[in-house]
Amino acid sequence: MKPAVRHTTLKANGLEFACDVSGDSEDVALLLHGFPESRFSWRFQLPFLAAQGWRAVAPDLRGYGQSSRPEGKAAYHIDHLIDDVVGMFEVLKPRRKLLVAHDWGAVIAWVVAMRRAVDLDGLIIMNVPHPTVFGELIKHYRPQQLKSWYVAFFQIPWLPEFLLRQSRAQGIANAFLNMAVDKGAFPPHVLEEYRRNALIPGALTAMINYYRANLGILDETSAPIDVPTLMLWGEEDTALDVKLTEGYGPHVKDFTLVRFPNVSHWVQQEAPVPVNSAMLEWLRTKGLALGPAPHS
C-alpha cells in the first residue's frame, strides 16, 4: 500500500508554505517545483520517497498556490529563495537532508549546494543545468540562445501575465501540452490544477518575478559541489538543450547523469516510473534508500 499524502502548512523564513507531506521519518526530502507548477507536480514522487525511508515534503514555493505571496520583484531574488529552503529545513529538523528539485526549484537547489547553505546528504536535479554550465554554453551556442527567448519576454512588465491569464490561463495549460511528448500525462484535471493556481490574484506576477529578479544568477560561482548529485534529464526538452548535461566534471565531484529519451522537460510527471526507478538505484548506491523497487 502506498504511503498516504497529507496536507500541512509550514511556517519558515517569515512566510507560510502550503505543503504536501508523505512519511514520518527523521530524514527529510524537500521537493522544490518549477514554473508554472506547484507542489502537485510531485504527486508521483512523494509516496515513493516515503517508501524509501524519507519524510517527503513538497511545498508551494513563495508566490505559488496557497503559500505566502510577498509583493515586489525584489522579494523573489535568489537570496530570499535560498533563505526559504534553509528556513524550511530548520523547522523540519531533519537527521539527513535530501533536496529534490525541478526547473526553477532546481535553480534554487543548485545555488543552495553551491553556497553550502544547507549541509545536504544528497541532491537530485531534474532538467535544469548547473548555472555555470548554462552560462558557458549560452555565450556561444545559438540553439540555446533561441530556446531561451522566453526569459527576455518575461522581463516585459505586465504583458506576460496578461497573455498567460487569457481564457482561464490557457497559456499555462499550453506550456505543458506544447512541450510534452506524452500529452496523455496532462489530462484536463491535471491542467486545471495549474490553471487554477495561476488565476489566483497576484500569482502570475509572483511566478514571473523569479525570472525578473534573477538575471544575474549566471554570475554565481563556487567551489565544486561535494554533495552526491543525480541529474535526471528528459532529452526532448524544448527549452533547455541536451548539451547542458555535459561538462560537469569541474563543477560537481560526485555526479551521476540519467537521460530519458522521448521525454520532455516535465520529466517527473511525464515519466514517473522511470524517474522513480532511476532515483531508487542512485539512492541505494549512495546508502540513502531502504524500500523496495517502485512498481508501475
What is the per-residue DSSP string for 185-200?
Answer: GS-HHHHHHHHHHHTS
Grid cell for residue 22: 508523505
Compute the mean pLDDT over every residue in the chain, rounded to the nearest whole number: 96
Measured CA to CA, the distance from residue 98 to residue 246 in angstroms comes to 23
54 contacts: CB under 8 Å, gap ≥ 6: 23, 25, 27, 28, 29, 98
Q: pTM of the full predicted structure?
A: 0.96
| 61-104 confidence digits (pLDDT tens) | 999 999 999 999 999 999 999 999 999 999 999 999 999 999 99
The verdict on whether 237 is a catalytic residue reads no
Cα–Cα distance between 109 and 170 in angstroms, integer? 29
Q: Which three cell numbers stand for residue 89?
A: 529545513
Pick the closest to residue 267 from 243, 295, 229, 232 (CA basis): 232
Q: Are 127 and 135 in contact (CB under 8 A)?
A: no
pLDDT at residue 281 tops 60: yes
The sign of the dihedral angle between the CA atoms of 37, 204, 162, 159 is negative
What is the Cα–Cα distance from 95 to 76, expressed in whole angstroms? Answer: 29
Q: What angle do CA 169, 171, 177 make, to 5 degrees?
A: 115
Longest CA span, the chain: 50
| 3-class secondary structure, 82 | helix
Q: What angle do CA 72, 78, 84 make, to 5 degrees?
A: 90
Q: 6-285 adopts what CATH topology?
A: Rossmann fold (3.40.50)
Set 194, 210, 211, 248: catalytic member: 211
The pLDDT score that the predictor gives to residue 291 is 53
Please tell me the predicted confidence (pLDDT) of residue 218: 82
Active-site pick, 84, 103, 237, 241: 103
Q: Where are the beta strands (DSSP E) in 131-248?
A: 229-234
* Preceding peptide of 160 cis, ω within 30°: no
CA distance 159 to 147: 20
Q: In angstroms, how far is CA 132 from the centroid of its own chain?
A: 18
Question: Cell numbers 535526471 label which residue?
Answer: 232
**pLDDT computed for residue 296 by the predictor:** 42
Residue type, 197: N
Kindly report, residue by residue over 125-172, the tens digit of the pLDDT.
999 999 999 999 999 999 999 999 999 999 999 999 999 999 999 999
> For 159-218, what is each residue's pLDDT tens digit?
999 999 999 999 999 999 999 999 999 999 999 999 999 999 999 999 999 999 998 888
The amino acid sitting at 82 is: I
Q: Each residue of 24-57: pLDDT tens digit?
A: 999 999 999 999 999 999 999 999 999 999 999 9
Q: Where are the chain's structural domains?
A: 6-285
Four-CA torsion 209, 210, 214, 218, nearest 10 degrees: -150
- pLDDT reading at 273 higher than 60: yes
The question of whether 211 is a catalytic residue gets the answer yes
